[in-house]
Amino acid sequence: MLKGKVTVITGAGRGIGRAIALQFAEYGAKVVINYRSSIAQVEELLNLITNAGGEAIAVQADISKEEEAKKLLEEAVKHFGRLDVLINNAGITKDNLMMRMTEADFDSVIDINLKGTFFCMKHASNIMLKQRSGKIVNISSVVGLTGNVGQINYAASKAGVIGMTKAAARELASRGITVNAVAPGFIETDMTDALSDKMKEATIANIPLKRYGIAREVAGAVSFLASEAANYITGQVLQVDGGMVM
């Protein structure tokens, strides 16, 4: 399904990004693992992929800085010769009630989640336009659709990702490049592990499937949108949320 496709995945050292990297490698993609600081986790991931016969490299870059985002994509082309897929997954949270949120906490989330996605799309599109082909999948969140108490910065960033996805899809469609988003709900990751049992019970009560998702289920949606099976799909938001937002 993705055999030979050169794929850059931002924030791939853990969680959803790690699951995407593993699944893409399993499907035969050539994977570029981007990370900012989780070197031990990245080395383990590289070993898992290469020991299973896959192809992967790791590139350290802080995608909130435009020059580093550009370097990341240039490294992918330098090593593999082209760029077929970009998965914008890197993201952080800095939760607090609006009245207590600092400017620094607001800016850091916007810089990585929103501006980082923009920088990567901008420089990936320069490469893909010359190829007249490519697929971009942005990881948003159901919080970008519904909002959430204590996450005004995160909600703004993820709603912004949806807006950018639709704008980029319109800009790039004439050159055969599709741009879509996946909006996960509550997925079992380090972020949800930090929730109290009471909070977990409350959130599960609002999910029709009555459970959290797993990272591989998000990876499956991303794999579909990056594959040729989704060639006629662009500008869409696919929710992977157990029916939480319908």
First to last CA, the chain: 29
Amino acid type, 48:
L
> Under a CB-based contact definition with an 8 Å cutoff, are residues 138 and 181 in contact?
yes
> Under a CB-based contact definition with an 8 Å cutoff, are residues 154 and 93 in contact?
yes
Whether 27 sits among the annotated catalytic residues: the reply is no
Catalytic residue among 27, 154, 212, 232: 154
CB burial class (10 A; 0-12, 13-18, 19+) of residue 52?
Answer: exposed
- Bridge-based pairing state of the strands 55-60 and 85-88: unpaired
Q: Cβ of 12: how many Cβ atoms within 10 Å?
A: 31
Which residues form the catalytic set?
154
